[in-house]
Homo-oligomer: A and B are copies of this chain.
Amino acid sequence: MSLATRSKRTESRPALSRDRVLRAAIEIADEGGIAAVTMRRLAESLDAEAMSLYHHVANKEQVLDGVVDVIAAEINEAVGRLTLPARGAAWRSAARERILTARRVLLRHRWAAALFESRSATSPEVLLYFDGLVGIMRDGGFSNDLAHHAMHALGSRAIGFSQELFTPGAGPAAGEPDPVLAGMAGRLPHLVGMLAEVMHDDPDSTIGWCDDQAEFEFGLDLLLDGLDRRR
């Protein structure tokens, strides 16, 4: 039994490492959401005991911080392949492409946006991403002051997602009318009138509780236009 366990560990399982722990966490989150990532399940997926993880990460908080960093590194790898001019007026399309590329990565890990927001620790890879975006703005002629305002104005949009508090048409079964909204339709004349007129035709292309691609781009362009005007 002890022999079987030992042979299993040494033969069929690579040694544990911080990196392997983080990648296993991402795999679990991709399958069952971020709440499915527990130390015990994480260990199980690595064919180890929960307590073994603590030799490679300080605690669960550090696992989640590390996951953010790995996803941000994936974003940096993707935007690193972009080769767009950013001098002068070209800054706008360079920034736009960078942001939409980041968004494409986040769409592969739908739980990631919520995690990015909930973490307060500074991720080195997120810093590198932002540094590149500031660089594009500086190339475009932004003052440091305007670039700073711009980063705040973009907020989470700078890295490809945006927060929605209410996603019209995203009821229990997406695409269905929201039952709460339907139940109080009489007290919501403007909202009901608006939604009745604008038919949502692709309610599936959402990133978590965030807006869909077309709406994301509308908001992004609104901000980029305003910034370009102040440049």
Residues of A within 8 A of B (CB): 114, 116-118, 120-124, 126-128, 130-132, 134-135, 138, 144-145, 147-149, 152-156, 158-159, 162-166, 168, 178, 180-181, 184, 187-191, 193-195, 197-198, 209, 211, 215-216, 218-219, 222-223, 225-227
Indicate which residue in B116, B131, B216 contacts A187 across the interface (CB closer than 8 Å). Answer: B131
Is the beta-carbon distance between B194 and A127 smaller than 8 angstroms? Answer: no
Is the beta-carbon distance between B130 and A215 smaller than 8 angstroms? Answer: no
Is the beta-carbon distance between A194 and B152 smaller than 8 angstroms? Answer: no
- Residues of chain B within 8 A (CB-CB) of A130 are 165-166, 191
Indicate which residue in B127, B144, B226 contacts A226 across the interface (CB closer than 8 Å). Answer: B226
Nearest opposing residue in chain B for A192, CB measure: B131
Indicate which residue in B145, B163, B178 contacts A197 across the interface (CB closer than 8 Å). Answer: B145
16 A-B pairs (CB sep. < 8 Å): A117-B165, A122-B180, A126-B166, A127-B166, A127-B181, A127-B184, A131-B189, A134-B194, A144-B194, A149-B218, A152-B164, A152-B219, A153-B218, A156-B163, A162-B163, A226-B226
Indicate which residue in B122, B148, B198 contacts A194 across the interface (CB closer than 8 Å). Answer: B148
Copies of this chain, count: 2
> CA–CA, A126 to B198, complex, Å?
20
- Residues of chain B within 8 A (CB-CB) of A138 are 190, 193-194
> CA–CA, A226 to B228, complex, Å?
12
Is the beta-carbon distance between A152 and B122 smaller than 8 angstroms? Answer: no
Nearest opposing residue in chain B for A145, CB measure: B198
- Residues of chain B within 8 A (CB-CB) of A155 are 162-165, 211, 219
- Residues of chain B within 8 A (CB-CB) of A131 are 187-191
CB proximity of A125 to chain B, nearest CB, Å = 10
> CA–CA, A184 to B188, complex, Å?
51
